[in-house]
């Protein structure tokens, strides 16, 4: 359905009109991990900031987490599922190769009018999906776009690899986008990739390059392989660069940012970026201590919590910063 563009405006601004999130009930604490691998709560807290993460139950799939988060976002926006024109779902842990998890969520929601597809940008998935959703609203093509980040990272973990198994967790977050009727909305989005660094963090097996086989399973190629140190350094550099890019594009300074809502990968990465932007940590939304790195879900999950706690208020300037496998990274500046 084509919306009429308001007279005198060449572009329609996109607003987030509802947020929702969901995490599975089961908590896995650092102490629980101490019993499984050679690690300590003190090491994990000091090196990552993570204290516990949530683990999906055996009968939960990424679409189940996404459905719960989406339901809450719709409730918050007071919108009905039939109003949704498009579902863009970011995940690295889809229910299956195809159909897309977005289509499965469409069915669960009974969002009967929507088009639906998945998007793959690893931990940057939410910012990528937000940028895509925004284009459809901005162009006047659609009125309601549901953007979801959902992950069951625990299904990709090698539980004997202490360098990765302490980091990730499961969860989902969702936002509903609509044309803005005020000054609020997405001011700009900025996306980047560097495919030459694809092997810094990947799950090499299980796809068409290395399909499932006994050998593949024996070598655990269906689990996350990560060069943690290198990833750390590139993350800090890229996040700082894209933050400045977003700020400059809008003639802003870091002091104009009310809250940084970063991808929740590692507290030291977030601190380093906040430091470089001279943003005090009180203006950074952090929840990785409770959920770990939930990949594409982490930003909408942190955003939803901060909105529901009343921490983020109308008129606040938000900076979303994401980084992940691909490599991919991106930023979005949003006036709440
Ligand atoms: N518990 C205890 N010791 C551990 C450990 C754990 N869970 N994981 C690694 N170690 C050990 C290493 O084996 C190494 O021991 P060694 O010196 O005897 O070889 C030592 O700790 C230091 O390892 P290093 O890899 O240098 O630690 P680090 O400070 O870089 O922290 C990460 C490791 C993974 C936490 C960190 O590199 C990181 O977070 N990187 C970014 C990863 C990321 O964000 N990925 C997602 C991107 S979206």
Tell me, in angstroms, the distance from the centre of ligand 1 to residue 197's CA. 19
Looking at residue 110, what is its pLDDT? 98
Report the range of poorest mean pLDDT among 9-23, 41-55, 106-120, 267-281: 9-23
Q: Cα–Cα distances in Å, from 299 out to 182, 207, 319?
A: 24, 27, 10
Domains and CATH numbers, the chain: 14-182 (3.40.47.10), 186-335 (3.40.47.10)
121 CB within 6 A, ligand 1: no
> What's the whole-model pTM score?
0.95
48 lines ligand 1 (CB under 6 A): yes
Q: Is the CB of 47 under 6 A from ligand 1?
A: yes
293 carries an active-site annotation = yes
Ligand 1 atom nearest the C-alpha of 263 is 48
Tell me: the pLDDT tens digits for 66-98?
999 999 999 999 999 999 999 999 999 999 999
Q: Is 153 in the pocket of ligand 1 (CB under 6 A)?
A: no
Q: How far apart are the CA of 43 and the centre of ligand 1, in A?
A: 9
Q: Compute CA distances 188 → 127, 214, 245, 317, whole Å.
A: 11, 47, 10, 12
| Mean pLDDT lowest among 1-15, 101-115, 290-304 | 1-15
Q: Are the beta carbons of 180 and 15 closer than 8 angstroms?
A: yes
Lowest mean pLDDT among 2-11, 250-259, 275-284, 286-295: 2-11
Pocket test for ligand 1, best of 30, 41, 47 (most atoms within 8 A of CB): 47
CB 126 within 8 A of CB 173: yes
Q: For residue range 193-243, list pLDDT tens digits in order.
A: 999 999 999 999 999 999 999 999 999 999 999 999 999 999 999 999 999
For residue 148, how far is its CA from the centre of ligand 1 (angstroms)?
29
Distance (Å) of CA 115 to CA 52, 71, 87, 157, 164: 36, 17, 6, 32, 35
The mean pLDDT of 41-51, rounded to a whole number, is 97
Mutate to test the pocket of ligand 1, among 228, 327, 330 (most ligand atoms within 8 A of CB): 228
User: What is the residue with the minimal CA distance to atom 2 of ligand 1?
Assistant: 39
Atom 8 in ligand 1: residue holding the nearest Cα = 163
Which one is catalytic: 123, 190, 266, 287?
A: 123
Distance 172 CA to ligand 1 centre (A): 25
């Amino acid at each position: 359905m084509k919306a009429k563009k308001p007279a005198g405006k060449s572009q329609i601004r996109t607003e987030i009109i509802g947020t929702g999130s969901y995490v599975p009930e089961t908590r896995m604490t650092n102490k629980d991990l101490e019993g499984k691998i050679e690690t300590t709560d003190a090491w994990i807290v000091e090196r990552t900031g993570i204290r516990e993460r949530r683990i999906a139950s055996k009968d939960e799939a990424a679409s189940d987490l996404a459905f719960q988060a989406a339901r809450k976002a719709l409730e918050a926006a007071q919108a009905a599922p039939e109003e949704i024109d498009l579902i863009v779902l970011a995940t690295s842990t889809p229910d299956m190769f195809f159909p897309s998890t977005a289509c499965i969520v469409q069915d669960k929601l009974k969002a009967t009018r929507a088009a639906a597809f998945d998007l793959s940008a690893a931990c940057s998935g939410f910012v990528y999906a937000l940028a895509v959703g925004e284009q459809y609203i901005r162009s006047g093509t659609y009125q309601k776009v549901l953007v979801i980040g959902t992950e069951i990272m625990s299904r990709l973990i090698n539980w004997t690899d202490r360098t990765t198994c302490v980091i990730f967790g499961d969860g989902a977050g969702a936002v509903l986008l609509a044309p803005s009727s005020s000054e609020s909305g997405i001011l700009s989005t900025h996306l980047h990739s560097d495919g030459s660094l694809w092997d810094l963090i990947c799950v090499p097996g299980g796809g068409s390059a290395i399909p499932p086989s006994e050998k593949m399973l024996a070598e655990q190629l269906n689990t996350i392989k990560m060069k943690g140190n290198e990833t750390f350094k590139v993350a800090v550099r890229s996040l700082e660069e894209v933050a400045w890019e977003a700020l400059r594009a809008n003639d802003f300074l870091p002091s104009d940012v009310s809250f940084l809502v970063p991808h929740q990968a590692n507290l030291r990465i977030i601190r380093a970026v906040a430091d470089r932007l001279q943003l005090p940590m009180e203006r950074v939304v952090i929840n990785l201590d409770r959920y770990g790195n939930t990949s594409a879900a982490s930003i909408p999950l942190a955003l939803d919590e901060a909105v529901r706690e009343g921490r983020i208020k109308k008129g606040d300037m938000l900076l979303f910063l994401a980084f992940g496998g691909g490599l991919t990274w991106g930023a979005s500046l949003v006036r709440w």
